[in-house]
Amino acid sequence: MKILSSKGYLGMSWPKEYGGQEKPGIYDYILNEELCRVGAPSPGKGVGSIGQTIIHHGSNKIKDEFLPKILAGEIDFALGYSEPGAGSDLASLQLKAERKEGGWLINGQKIWTSLAHLSQYGILITRTDPTVAKHQGLTMFFLDVKSPGVDIRPIKQANGESGFNEVFFDNVRIPDSQRLGEVGDGWRVSLT
């Protein structure tokens, strides 16, 4: 990723104000296709979905801190979406986030979290209001996956590899400054 970054290949479709080149998204797509064709690692979700989510929904502080590191190939993120009992039905998730002392307390579980054991950060969608319709009451956060109370357990696949993980959250504290988008607007944020 650092080599791709040094040659200007990461975030080609990002706005110039965030270090990108404002090229059409097809450039990012072609890069990923060519890297896959030769069996090389691809920029993946850090530059793609997570970078775009931060660009569109992150605070200026989050953008200033994380976007340059993503474009430099210095950090990677895991996506905390799927849950036991909900699978890919994102609106049925139950990972609970409760407001506590200027921040949030996270409890529950995610599953099939790609490469969480190799990532430094993760974004996760949580249930912040269980009393409203299932597409409402969701809020998106990001966190350091080494935070106290985060337990990452690789899922062994038939070939012996572990590309996926179960991730457990036991009273994980997240400051409100690590929220992406507005409280209760996580569904819209996740569509980015």
| pTM (2 d.p.) | 0.87
Instruction: Give CA–CA dist 46/127, Å, rounded.
Output: 23
Q: What is the pLDDT of residue 80?
A: 87
Q: Give the mean pLDDT of 49-67.
A: 91
Higher per-residue pLDDT: 97 or 91: 97
Q: Give the mean pLDDT of 30-35.
A: 91
Tens digits of residue pLDDT in 122-168: 999 999 999 998 889 999 998 999 999 999 999 988 887 778 899 99
DSSP 47: I
Residue 103 tokens read as: 């921040």
DSSP conformation letters of 125-177: EEES-TTS-TTSSEEEEEEETTSTTEEEEEEPPTTS---EEEEEEEEEEEEGG
User: Counting beta carbons within 10 angstroms of the beta carbon of residue 66, is it exposed (0 to 12), middle (13 to 18) or buried (19 or more)?
Assistant: buried
| Whether the predicted pLDDT of 2 surpasses 90 | no
